[in-house]
Amino acid sequence: MFLGDSLTAGLGLAKEQAFPALIDARLRAEGRPWKVVNAGVSGDTTAGGVARLDWIYQQKVDVLFVCLGANDGLRGIPVAETERNLRIILERARKEGTRVVLAGVQLPENYGTDYRTAFAGIFPRLAKAYRVPLLPFLLEGVAMNPRLNQPDGIHPTAEGARIVADHVWMALDQTLRATPERQAPEGAAR
C-alpha cells in the first residue's frame, strides 16, 4: 500500500504512469504475487493520512510505503505536528504488524534554513526510532529538473515518475523480500 499525496496519486499522469503502478508492473513482470494499492490523494497531508488509517486497515496490509509530508511542509505546518502525525501512522502500522518503508521530503530553499532543516530531520529520526528503511528523498534526481517535471515544477512527468519508481524499488525490494508471502484473499492488499 502506497500512502501518499499527489506525487503518489500521479497527478497529471495516466494511472499506469504513476510510480506505484510502475512498481506493480515490475512485480508482475517478475512473477511476484504482491498486490499494489495506490492510496495517494492529491493535496493530502500527514493529518489526512492519519484520518485514512481506518479505511486502509479495512484490509490486511503487509507493507506500507509512507510518502507523506510534502504538503505539510509547503503549507508551513509546524514540524512537531507533522512528526506527531507520522508517528501515529508508524505506530498503527506496528500495531497491525505491517512493515513500513518511509520516504523523506525536502523543501525548496525559499522556506528558510531553520524550517527546512527541522523538517528534513523528521524522516531520518523516525526511520531510526521505528527501525524502518528510509528513502531519503522521494524526488531524488527529479526535483528541480524542468525536463522531468510537469509545468508546475512539482509533479514528475512520466519520465520523472520512472526515475522515482526506480528509487522506490531500491528502497522497497528488500522489504518485500523479507516479508513472508501469504495467500491474500481476492482484493486484499499485500
**Would you kindly state where each structural domain of the chain is located, as residue ranges?**
2-178
- What are the tens digits of pLDDT across the range 11-51? 999 999 999 999 999 999 999 989 999 999 999 999 999 99
Active site annotation includes 42 = no
DSSP string, 51-85: HTHHHHTTS--SEEEEE--HHHHHTT--HHHHHHH
Select which of 5, 6, 24, 72 is catalytic: 6
Model pLDDT, residue 186: 42
Report pLDDT digits (tens) over 104-119: 999 988 899 999 999 9
pLDDT in tens, 150-190: 999 999 999 999 999 999 999 999 999 888 765 443 444 44
pLDDT of 71 reads 97
Over residues 45-76, the pLDDT tens digits come to 999 999 999 999 999 999 999 999 999 999 99
**Which one is catalytic: 5, 24, 155, 167?**
155
- Output the pLDDT for position 107: 93
pLDDT of the residue at 159? 98
Report residue 127's pLDDT band, with 50, 70 and 90 as the boundaries. very high
Nearest residue to 75 via CA among 53, 105, 39:
105
- pLDDT at residue 162, rounded to an integer: 98
Q: State the residue for C-alpha cell 504475487.
A: 33
**CATH code that applies to domain 2-178:** 3.40.50.1110
Looking at the DSSP assignment, which residues form a beta bridge with residue 156? 149
Question: Which cell is 1 given?
Answer: 500500500
Distances in Å between the Cα of 125 and the Cα atoms of 8, 35, 87 are 22, 29, 11
